[in-house]
Amino acid sequence: MNRTILFLSIAAVSFYSMADETSVLPTIVVKADSQETDVTGKLKKKATLNILGEKDVLDTPFTIRNYSQQAIEDAHAHSIMEVLKIDPSIRTTTNTGHLNENFNIRGFNVNWEDYNLNGAYGMAPTGRVSTDILSSVTVLKGPNALVAGMAPGGSVGGVIIANTKRADKELSRVTANFEEGGYYKSGFDVARRFGQDQEFGARVSAHYGQGEHTIDGMDDENVSAVVGLDWTTDKAKFNFDAYVTDDKRQDGSPAMVSFAQLGKVLDAPDGRSNFFPNIHGKQSAQYVGLSGEYKLLDNLKVIAGAGTVEQKYQGHLFGTRMIVTNDAGDANSQYYHVKLKQNNTSANIGLEGAFNTGSLAHKVGLRADFLNVETRKHTGRGSPAVSFQTNLYNPGNGGTMPAEAPAMFKQADDDFVSYSLTDQISMLDDKVQLILGARFQDMDINNPLTNVKYSENKLSPSLGLVVKPFGEDLSFYTSYVEGLSQGKTVNEESDANYGVTFAPLETKQYEIGAKYQHGSWLHTLTAYQIEKPDTISSNYSDPTNTNITTITTDGVETTSKGVEYGFSGNITDNAIIWGNLAYIDAEYTKTPTAIEGNTVIGQPEFTAGLGVEYKLPVDGFSVNARATYVDEQYLTQDNKLELPDYTLLDIGAKYKTNLGGVDTTFRANIDNVTDEKYWAGVFGNGFTTIGAGRTYKLGVSFDF
């Protein structure tokens, strides 16, 4: 760690030495909330997309949702999962309150290992990301190797970018939040600009939370802090970012349930039920990073960045599974004890230039990215499991965690290196914009435990077109992008292809859409098709070797087709409405097994969300409500078990006032106001997650 910090310090000195000390730089004005939002205040109209730079959503040939600080605050969101619940088409595959947060976007998983921090993979906290260190959350739906590169865990459903806090505005804020059960969190957030021309910025934020949380008897303790420093002129910008997060959990965990043995789905239990009352777990992360850009010429700049993170977890963090055995809800379960330590390092360097060729304006980017992932962790499921019995509707107090932590073994020392080239071409006063790009990805995979070692590479091309034939308010777009994930190595000795490593898997997405922005209204409409290849294991008999029972082959494919529509705007001066609709048809389209043509597990065909906010005659006082509908979902790949549809209703109120010269905001929310009991989603092949129960939330913030 000390050598890494020394390296970053030397890099920072090198950056600063590039500045011309004799030049006189003009005044730099850093605007508060320089990225405007839609009328709800929840969606930013611009997003930073790595090699493509900061782009207006209307000028981007992809589906982007950039959730603002206000979206985080209005939802009382403690983690990214609670932010993304705003969009019902983004499915969660782990429970609310779980220490690991995994998602499914457009039919494909995006797991916690593949969160992206400020444009870089591998740098986010382990398990889940606290919103206390974030200024916004950007979601790029579908695969996108051009913008983000190859996710180290192989996720291709989308890119979730956690953007840490920066000193983009003057701020002195103290907050306090309280939730049903006794969970309390408070913190501060301070940002300042310094210097004759406000060229120096600093932001420091820290929060502490503790108490019963999400389910009965489960106690959480959460600590987080983030620092963002910058030096910004018209010629250079350098950022220093650092965070620490620490989660500790006692006496409980949300549960996942299997009905495979029973053969039918029972009614969902109370969302506040605690089935694992004797567990404990903890996870933590520490990160430091530098990034910057410097103008070599008016139309040419160099960009660079580096970061390092240490991630740890230990205890009962996953495997919170119950196997229901009869109609009364009796179930078998187990306790696990797992452990991990991971050290990741990332770096990037690139050039960005602008020039014209006749009537065509070009913005060309060239970039190299590096990520090393070094992992030491438990094998299998950690320490030997301890089994116990419980009941779906009457949880017991049984079960004990294995006392001894499992041994850790080095299981990854992986390098991911990629080279990207893009040309953003505009013509006819930006009425036609074309993005041409490609990323060459090289991966060097090394698992010392299993002695798996191989190197592979792949070129991923991309194409995007935006047309504005009727002015700046309306854009039509189309795009082709690819995603990339590691080819699987067969480790089972009973497999006919034992020891074989398959080629990297190339996911393809085709998308068309339209975006309209006029007055207070913002509309987005998109249609897409995603084709994802995979491998599959099937039963196999080798007459010359009776120990061979399976065979793993490639050529399998899952296809996802869908239509998404989102809108927001004022229906009256005092009423704001927003909503989103999504239709998805995700199927196993190429497979040698009987599941071909079946719907992908955990994929509702239709989801919808509708929200409204109304400003009451009392100055600064508003009330809001949001309804979410999720269609039926299949629980197993054979489509024999199905989860019922459900509708959730959330309500809230917000009051902004000034108390003794201090701007004060009060927020009150009730999530799942009807206390609906429901199965929220699907994890793996056959486990369903229990939906969260009714939750009361209160919050207050003071801006000095």
Please give, one letter per residue, the 3-state secondary structure of 346-373.
EEEEEEEEEEEECCEEEEEEEEEEEEEE
Pairing label, strands 236-250, 64-67: unpaired
DSSP codes of every residue in 178-203: EETTTEEEEEEEEEEEESTTS-EEEE
Residue 254 has pLDDT above 80, yes or no: yes
CA distances from 121 to 52, 80, 310, 565 (A): 17, 16, 13, 29
User: Rounded CA gap, 657 and 497, in Å?
Assistant: 68
**β-bridge partners, 300:** 297, 353
| Main-chain phi, psi angles of 81, to 5 degrees | -55, -40
Beta-ladder partners of 257: 322, 688
Q: Give me Rg for the CA atoms of the chain.
A: 25
Nearest to 93 by CA among 633, 668, 653, 698: 633
Q: Rounded distance, CA 374 to CA 698, Å? A: 41
Q: Dihedral, CA atoms, 564, 570, 571, 576, nearest 10 degrees?
A: 80
3-state secondary structure 111-146: CHHHCEECCEECCCCCCCCEHHHEEEEEEEECCCHH
pLDDT tens-digit map of 509-518: 999 999 999 9
The rounded distance, in Å, linking the Cα atoms of 128 and 170 is: 28
Q: What is the rounded CA–CA span in Å between residue 4 and residue 307?
A: 9
| Nearest-angstrom CA–CA distance, 99 and 252 | 11
For tokens 């992986």, name the residue: 414
Total residues belonging to the chain: 704
Contacts of 551 (CB under 8 A, 6+ apart): 495, 496, 497, 537, 538, 540
Give the C-alpha separation, 25 to 42, whole Å.
35
Q: Please state, in angstroms and rounded to a whole number, the distance separating the CA atoms of residues 38 and 139.
A: 16
pTM for the complete prediction? 0.92
**Percent of the chain whose predicted confidence (pLDDT) is above 90:** 83
pLDDT at residue 8, rounded to an integer: 33
pLDDT band at 36 (very low <50, low <70, confident <90, very high): confident
Identify the pLDDT of residue 177: 97
User: In the block, which residue shows the tokens 């959990």?
Assistant: 249
pLDDT of 538 over the 90 cut: no
> 416 and 346 in contact (C-beta within 8 Å)?
no
Residue 25: is its pLDDT beyond 80? Answer: no
Residue 704: count of CB within 10 angstroms of its CB: 11
Q: Tokens for 611, please give them.
A: 């929200």
> What pLDDT does residue 24 have?
33
Residue 452: what pLDDT? 86
Q: Is residue 420 pLDDT above 60, yes or no?
A: yes
Structural domains in the chain plus CATH codes: 35-703 (2.40.170.20)
Find the mean pLDDT for residues 652-670. 97
pLDDT of residue 537: 84
CA distances from 657 to 227, 489, 615 (A): 29, 60, 14
Residue 501 has what DSSP assignment?
A: B
Could you give the CA distance from residue 168 to residue 42 in angstroms, rounded to a whole number?
17
The SS3 call for residue 222 is strand
Q: Average pLDDT of 71-94?
A: 94
Q: How many CB atoms lie within 10 A of CB 659?
A: 8
Number of Cβ within 10 Å of residue 428's Cβ equals 12
Q: Nearest to residue 124, comparing CAs of 373, 436, 378, 405?
A: 373
227-236 pLDDT tens trace: 999 999 999 9
254: Cα separation from own chain's centroid: 20
Please, what is the average pLDDT of the chain?
A: 92
**Dihedrals φ, ψ of 50, to 5°?**
50, -120
Query: Rounded CA gap, 308 and 123, in Å?
Result: 7
Strands 321-324 and 256-258, how do they pair?
parallel
Three-state secondary-structure class, residue 441 = strand
Q: What CA–CA distance (Å, rounded) separates 50 from 161?
A: 11
Residue 246 pLDDT greater than 50, yes or no: yes
> Sorting pLDDT into bands at 50, 70 and 90, what band is 384?
confident
Cα–Cα distance for residue pair 92/84, rounded to 1 Å: 9
Task: Give the whole-angstrom CA distance, residue 508 versus residue 142.
Answer: 9
Burial, 356: exposed, middle or buried (Cβ in 10 Å; 0-12, 13-18, 19+)?
A: exposed
Asked if residue 291 lies in contact with residue 238, where contact means CB atoms within 8 angstroms, the answer is yes
| CA gap 5, 288 in Å, rounded | 8
For 608, phi then psi, to 5°, come to -150, 150
Give the pLDDT score at 21: 35
Q: Which two tokens stand for residue 213?
A: 């949380």
Environment class of 544 (CB within 10 Å of its CB; exposed 0-12, middle 13-18, buried 19+): exposed
Summarize pLDDT for 580-601 with one digit per residue, the tens.
999 999 999 988 778 899 999 9
Which residue has better confidence, 334 or 615?
615
Segment 163-187 mean pLDDT: 96
Q: Nearest 10 degrees: CA dihedral of 257, 261, 265, 267? A: -60
Q: What was the pLDDT predicted at 35?
A: 52
pLDDT single digits (tens) 450-506: 888 889 999 999 999 999 999 999 999 999 999 999 888 888 889 999 888 898 999
DSSP class of 545: B
